[in-house]
Amino acid sequence: MMLSLAILALLSVAAPWVCRYAGPARGVVLAAFPLGIGAWFASKIPAVADGGAIVETFAWLPELGLEMTFRLDGLGLLFALLVTLIGAGVLLYAGSYMQGHHQIGRFFSYLIGFMTSMLGLVLADNLVLLFIFWELTSITSYLLIGFNHDKKESRSGALQALMVTGLGGLAMLAGLVVLAFAAGDLAGVPGGVWNMSELPEGLSGHAHYPWIVALVLAGCLTKSAQFPFHFWLPSAMAAPSPVSAYLHSSTMVKAGVYLIARLHPNLATGTAEGLWEGLLIGFGATTMFVGAYLATRQTLYKRLLAYSTVSSLGVMVMLIGMGHPDAAAAYILAHAMFKGCLFLVAGIVDHEAGEKDVAEIGKLFQAMPATGLAALLAGISMAGVPLAPLAGFVAKEKMIKAGLDAGPLTALLTALIIAAGSFTVFIAIMTGFKPFFGKAQREPKKHAHEAPWPMLAAPVILAVLGIVYALVPALFATPVVTAAGEAIKGGPFEAALRLDAFYYYEISLALGLSLLATLIGVGIYFGRGLWVKATSPFAKLDGVVGPAKMYDYAMLGLTKGSWAQTRVLQNGSLQVYIKMTLVAILGMFAWAIWRTGSLPSVGTNFERTGLLEWVLIISIAVSAIVATRLGSRLATVAVLGVIGYAVAVVFALYGGPDAAMTQFAVETLIVVIFVLVVYHLPRFAVYSGLAVRVMDLLLAATFGGVMACLVLAAGSQELFAPISAYFNEAAMPETPDGQSAYGRNLVNIILVDFRSVDTLGELVVLGIAAIGVYTLMKLRDDHEGVPVAEREGDEDQSEEGDA
Amino acid sequence: MNSLVLQTASRFLLPLLLLLSVVILLRGHNTPGGGFVGGLLAASAFALQAMAFDVESARRMLRVNLLAMVGLGLTLALVSGFFSLAAGGPLLKGLWFEVPVLGFDDPIKIGTPVLFDIGVYLTVLGVVLTMIFTLQEVVE
């Protein structure tokens, strides 16, 4: 498992080079890797079929008890297969689809990066690990949605997706932490239980249970685009079609569903009235209905599919909440096939016929027969046409039966399911039938022709697999769905995928309702003009107070709020910044003194103050006073340099040659940089009145006095035992255990060995500061007239970072 | 600036300062010095060159793109940490090897912290010069 992740991660890094050297064969080369990994996962079906699991562990941060635990069970396997096998098909497809794009290498790098994150997400057993992969999928999704970053809709769609899923992710992080500690309470582990497979029974009785449910679901429901957070998914359709097919239909959007299913055995209360189940059923059923309804008003191919995906995600959440793991797993598998196929078909229609609007096009079957057949099969599957031997019907029958078996909610849920089902039939006709067999409003923009084989492979295979799923369930559908259902249910379980469907001779209520939904769907298709007119008042309402609008308002408020606080706190006056900093620090001291009720004792050991020290002290003091009285900035800088050098001499006197050397060098360079900056500035001018100047003097004197006392206090007491003895021992070549750092200069050894991770971090900060200065100065060329003074602060800070 | 004294001094001082910076970089493990101070010294050498002549000439003398140098330094520092990882230790733990060198009685000790320190040197040099050069180019 870990090896598969490592291979994919390396492939993601290597993708640009593969693209450069493999040329048109790039899709085949890249797809071979996930295909192989998928085959490996498929070979593990027997191993996890009866509730077994494969576990791999790697000590990550043993000091903190963190382990990288990966666990492959039935649920993980279902998703791992989707991620790798559909991923392979999508890579193959994208190899042709993205042909000629100038950033094709980057595209594959992102796409495989996503694949790695998603695979890690469904294999991770550790909650921290899960969260990291979870966020990685959000970030790679952001990069992929915004891939055509020269388009505004791509950028805003990407940001919207990141904001919604990112905020949900933060809530989820809190929820997972609460979950881990609550589980620790129950299991008697003070550090919390961090592996999901080790979560104890009875979490629903814990005092923090409502928080866990609310916070974890906030993450899952945003990620899986549940109403009212659904609006980011249609906006994400700005991504290239392979991305939509892969991330926003088959895999990433199901991450929320995955985690819900994963935690279901631990968080479920066992009754439909429980908090967990109630929320899942409520959100799921609403989303199912609203998503399908909103889809009926769309005419753009991918947006239709996006809204119908929202609806499908609602179905999955609802089915888990209702306690039908087999129905949920069967639907997840079936949905990945038909919806993945249709998204890829939408990409082909766009690519080969130049058309995005299904209301306009039709009769493409002659031009692209294979695509048309795949779309037709996927469409029939999606519609769940009764008695059609396709995956969608199997799943849909299970769904309707679940609705009819919902206790007190039966009437409501069945009605919603049938309504959503009718809409889905309509969407299926619009996406699977209309473009290829329906009436064309006009000729396609491009001369339509069949797609090349790499683009056809995935949709055709997915469509055919839909038949295999239904006709020969034992081949792959039943084992996978059973294993996944077991994991969701948390106990032994047998999936009945025997396809009562195909051999369905008895007339039942479920079949009748399914027929009814199909008829209504066909009815809407023929009366779609009327339908759009009848529903437009609701659409207007959605435009005014809908969730997407609310998001816009929130973003606007955020921007305005930031502007307001920036105007107050970052008003550009260096004087105000310094005053704020000093007052804040003084305030903290005052608070600390008030809290402890005592002043720290100040040491008064001045015995070592000889002539040289007095010379230094006086020259520093005199320079400081002179610096405030000078009229020329250049002279001020020079005098400040004198202070710096004098401090360096103090370091040298008191046994800090390293610090002294560094101080000399830094001081010299600071003077150089100051001179370069000061060059632009006019001579000092006094704008402040006398009162302000007196206040400034008081503030400066107070702060200086307090700092002096603090230094004296710190020097006169020892709060912690110094660790220099340990450093000395560990650094020396004579250390007997061979763990020596082989050096005598402790300062440098601390920098490059003992605390080298810190140094590395500081180096990165320095690098960022350099890029910042560079960018600011280069931007200046575009905006002449921006006063240099506004930027002075930045260089100052980075220099202090050096010292 | 066009000062004959500064220009002549810079011609002599630049190689000396650079040599000194390398010495300080290498001796840092046992005696005062190290990559940080070394990098600052080297930066001041090039800053002197840029002031005596112009940024263009200093950049020419440097030959390397500054931000690329920052990147190289960071990469070296990071890579030096992978050796110990490969040897089964924690990231960035110092590994030392004794290499016999012809003409010396004692073998020379070479360790991954040296590589790390060279990374520090290059990063500091690149960062400081980026700041000074971009600022000075605006002046020019």
Residue type, A446: K
Please choose, from the candidates A491, A502, A444, the residue with its C-alpha nearest in 3D space to the C-alpha of residue A468: A502
Tokens (6 digits) for B85: 């990882």
Write out chain B residues lying below 8 Å of A753, CB-based: 92-94, 113, 116
Please check whether residue A771 touches B, CB under 8 A.
yes
Write out chain B residues lying below 8 Å of A743, CB-based: 29-30, 113
Tokens (6 digits) for A727: 């450093």
Report pLDDT for A600: 72
Write out chain A residues lying below 8 Å of B66, CB-based: 770
Please indicate whether, in this complex, the C-beta atoms of A760 and B78 are within 8 angstroms of each other.
yes
Top-confidence residue, A269 or A124: A124
- Residue to test with chain A: of B1, B36, B55, most A Cβ within 10 A: B36
Please choose, from the candidates A427, A341, A348, the residue with its C-alpha nearest in 3D space to the C-alpha of residue A384: A427
- Mean of the pLDDT values across residues A114-119? 94
**Which of B96, B116, B139 lies at the smallest CB-CB distance from A676?**
B139
Please check whether residue A724 touches B, CB under 8 A.
no
Calculate how close chain B gets to A783, using CA atoms only, in Å: 13
Please choose, from the candidates A466, A175, A407, A156, the residue with its C-alpha nearest in 3D space to the C-alpha of residue A274: A407
> What's the gap between Cα A720 and its chain centre?
41
* Among A160-174, A239-253, A783-797, B16-30, the least confident range: A783-797
Calculate how close chain A gets to B103, using CA atoms only, in Å: 22
Tokens (6 digits) for A210: 């409502």
* pLDDT band of A497, cuts 50, 70, 90: low
Please indicate whether, in this complex, the C-beta atoms of B134 and A798 are within 8 angstroms of each other.
no
DSSP helix/strand/coil, A610: coil
Pairing label, strands B96-99, A54-61: unpaired
Q: Which residues pair with A596 in a beta bridge?
A: none
Long-range contacts of the stretch A139-144 (C-beta < 8 A, 24+): A140/A110, A140/A111, A140/A113, A140/A114, A141/A114, A141/A165, A141/A236, A141/A247, A141/A248, A141/A252, A143/A110, A143/A113, A144/A107, A144/A110, A144/A111, A144/A114, A144/A239, A144/A240, A144/A243, A144/A247
- Residue to test with chain B: of A755, A766, A796, A802, most B Cβ within 10 A: A766
- Residue to test with chain B: of A63, A663, A670, A763, most B Cβ within 10 A: A763
Please choose, from the candidates A693, A675, A688, A687, the residue with its C-alpha nearest in 3D space to the C-alpha of residue A788: A675
Buried b (16+ CB within 10 A) or exposed e, A743-775: bebbbbbbbbbbebeebbebbeebbebbebbbe
Please indicate whether, in this complex, the C-beta atoms of B134 and A777 are within 8 angstroms of each other.
yes
Write out chain A residues lying below 8 Å of B137, CB-based: 777
- Is pLDDT of A734 > 90? no
Q: Which residues pair with A54 in a beta bridge?
A: A72
Please indicate whether, in this complex, the C-beta atoms of B34 and A658 are within 8 angstroms of each other.
yes
First to last CA, chain B: 9
Please indicate whether, in this complex, the C-beta atoms of A661 and B81 are within 8 angstroms of each other.
no
d(CA B32, CA B37) in angstroms, rounded, equals 9
* pLDDT band of B1, cuts 50, 70, 90: low
Calculate how close chain B gets to A386, using CA atoms only, in Å: 59
B96's enclosing H/E stretch is strand B96-99
- What is the predicted ipTM? 0.91
Residue type, A583: V
Top-confidence residue, A282 or A363: A282
pLDDT tens-digit readout, B76-85: 999 988 888 8
Report pLDDT for A381: 87
* pLDDT band of A312, cuts 50, 70, 90: very high
Please choose, from the candidates A680, A639, A425, the residue with its C-alpha nearest in 3D space to the C-alpha of residue A528: A425
* Among A506-510, A521-525, B67-71, the least confident range: A506-510
Report pLDDT for A68: 85
Write out chain B residues lying below 8 Å of A655, CB-based: none
Percent of all residues in chain A with a pLDDT value above 90, rounded to a whole number: 28
Phi-psi sector, A631: left (phi>0), alpha (psi -120 to 50), beta? alpha
Report pLDDT for A787: 46
d(CA A20, CA A99) in angstroms, rounded, equals 12
Please indicate whether, in this complex, the C-beta atoms of A669 and B132 are within 8 angstroms of each other.
yes
- Mean of the pLDDT values across residues B81-99? 78
- Is pLDDT of A215 > 90? yes
d(CA A531, CA A563) in angstroms, rounded, equals 45
- Is pLDDT of A791 > 70? no
- Mean of the pLDDT values across residues A397-408? 79
Write out chain B residues lying below 8 Å of A59, CB-based: none
8 Å CB contact between B28 and A748: yes
Please indicate whether, in this complex, the C-beta atoms of B134 and A773 are within 8 angstroms of each other.
yes
Q: Domain ranges in chain B? A: 4-139
B-chain residue closest to A777, CA distance:
B134
- Is pLDDT of A659 > 60? yes
**Which of B35, B37, B130 lies at the smallest CB-CB distance from A774?**
B130
Please indicate whether, in this complex, the C-beta atoms of A756 and B81 are within 8 angstroms of each other.
yes
Size of interface A-B (CB pairs under 8 A): 153
Q: For residue A721, give every residue at least 6 positions away whose Cβ sits within 8 Å of its Cβ, in sequence order, or none.
A: none
Secondary structure letter of residue A248 according to DSSP: I
Calculate how close chain A gets to B30, using CA atoms only, in Å: 4
Tokens (6 digits) for A142: 């952001």
Please indicate whether, in this complex, the C-beta atoms of B28 and A666 are within 8 angstroms of each other.
no
* pLDDT band of A326, cuts 50, 70, 90: confident
- Mean of the pLDDT values across residues A221-227? 91
d(CA A771, CA B67) in angstroms, rounded, equals 8
- Residue to test with chain B: of A674, A735, A748, most B Cβ within 10 A: A748
d(CA A137, CA A243) in angstroms, rounded, equals 12
* Among A361-375, A507-521, A780-794, B75-89, the least confident range: A780-794
d(CA A479, CA A414) in angstroms, rounded, equals 28
Please choose, from the candidates A222, A198, A29, the residue with its C-alpha nearest in 3D space to the C-alpha of residue A137: A222
Tokens (6 digits) for A229: 């957070």
Report pLDDT for A413: 87
Report pLDDT for A797: 42
- Mean of the pLDDT values across residues B17-25? 92
Q: What is the DSSP string of A452-506?
A: PHHHHHHHHHHHHHHHHHHH-TTTTHHHHHHHHHHHHHTS------S-TTTT--S
pLDDT tens-digit readout, A660-688: 999 999 999 988 888 888 877 777 777 77
Is A32 buried (19+), middle (13-18) or exposed (0-12) by CB count in 10 A?
Answer: middle
Please choose, from the candidates A60, A84, A61, the residue with its C-alpha nearest in 3D space to the C-alpha of residue A70: A60
Long-range contacts of the stretch B88-96 (C-beta < 8 A, 24+): B91/A757, B92/A753, B92/A756, B92/A757, B92/A760, B92/B116, B93/A753, B94/A741, B94/A742, B94/A752, B94/A753, B94/A756, B96/A742
- Mean of the pLDDT values across residues A126-151? 91
Report pLDDT for A477: 77
DSSP helix/strand/coil, A587: helix
A-chain residue closest to B40, CA distance:
A665
Please indicate whether, in this complex, the C-beta atoms of A742 and B94 are within 8 angstroms of each other.
yes
**Which of B31, B109, B128 lies at the smallest CB-CB distance from A745?**
B31
Report pLDDT for A686: 77
Please check whether residue A634 touches B, CB under 8 A.
no
Q: Domain ranges in chain A? A: 325-526, 755-803
* pLDDT band of A471, cuts 50, 70, 90: confident
Please check whether residue A3 touches B, CB under 8 A.
no
pTM confidence score: 0.75
Query: Percentages helix, strand, coil for chain B, rounded to the nearest 5?
Result: 70, 5, 25
With the C-alpha atoms ordered A376, A378, A382, A385, is the resulting torsion angle positive or negative?
positive
Top-confidence residue, A335 or A389: A335
SS3 per residue for A647-687: HHHHHHHCCCHHHHHHHHHHHHHHHHHHHHHHCCCCCCCCC
Q: For residue A672, give every residue at least 6 positions away whose Cβ sits within 8 Å of its Cβ, in sequence order, or none.
A: B44, B47, B51, B132
Top-confidence residue, A72 or A270: A72
Report pLDDT for A494: 61
Report pLDDT for A683: 76
Report pLDDT for A795: 42
- Is pLDDT of A781 > 60? no
Percent of all residues in chain A with a pLDDT value above 70, rounded to a whole number: 93
* pLDDT band of B75, cuts 50, 70, 90: very high
8 Å CB contact between A37 and A84: yes
Report pLDDT for B45: 92
d(CA A69, CA A332) in angstroms, rounded, equals 25
Top-confidence residue, A222 or A723: A222
- Is pLDDT of A798 > 70? no
**Which of B41, B67, B71 lies at the smallest CB-CB distance from A665?**
B41
Helices A391-404 and A509-526: crossing angle in degrees, nearest 10, is 120
* Among A30-44, A189-203, A761-775, the least confident range: A189-203
Residue type, A364: L
- Is pLDDT of A521 > 80? yes
- The per-residue pLDDT of chain B, averaged, comes to 87
Report pLDDT for A786: 47
Count of other CB atoms within 10 angstroms of residue A440: 14
Residue type, A783: H
Please indicate whether, in this complex, the C-beta atoms of A773 and B135 are within 8 angstroms of each other.
yes
Calculate how close chain A gets to B89, using CA atoms only, in Å: 11
d(CA A244, CA A251) in angstroms, rounded, equals 10
Calculate how close chain A gets to B70, using CA atoms only, in Å: 6
d(CA B14, CA B48) in angstroms, rounded, equals 8
8 Å CB contact between B30 and B81: no
Residue A240 has, within 13 A of its CA and on its CB side, a CA count of 23
Report pLDDT for B93: 77
Report pLDDT for A496: 60
Please indicate whether, in this complex, the C-beta atoms of B34 and A751 are within 8 angstroms of each other.
yes
**Which of B47, B73, B134 lies at the smallest CB-CB distance from A763?**
B73
Residue type, A1: M
Report pLDDT for B121: 94
Please indicate whether, in this complex, the C-beta atoms of A798 and B131 are within 8 angstroms of each other.
yes
Q: For residue B95, give every residue at least 6 positions away whose Cβ sits within 8 Å of its Cβ, in sequence order, or none.
A: B83, B84, B87, B89, B111, B112
> What's the gap between Cα A616 and its chain centre?
55
> What's the gap between Cα A383 and its chain centre?
32
pLDDT tens-digit readout, A3-20: 899 999 999 888 888 888
Does A228 sit behind a cis peptide bond, omega within 30 degrees of 0 on the bond before it? yes
- Is pLDDT of A656 > 90? no
Please choose, from the candidates B28, B29, B45, the residue with its C-alpha nearest in 3D space to the C-alpha of residue B37: B28
A-chain residue closest to B120, CA distance:
A763
- The per-residue pLDDT of chain A, averaged, comes to 84
8 Å CB contact between A436 and A411: no
* pLDDT band of A216, cuts 50, 70, 90: very high
- Is pLDDT of A733 > 70? no
Is A272 buried (19+), middle (13-18) or exposed (0-12) by CB count in 10 A?
Answer: middle
A-chain residue closest to B17, CA distance:
A665
Helices A369-383 and A453-471: crossing angle in degrees, nearest 10, is 40
pLDDT tens-digit readout, A551-571: 888 889 998 999 998 888 888
CA distances A400 to A55, A239, A328, A418, A515, Å, are 36, 34, 12, 8, 11
Secondary structure letter of residue A195 according to DSSP: B
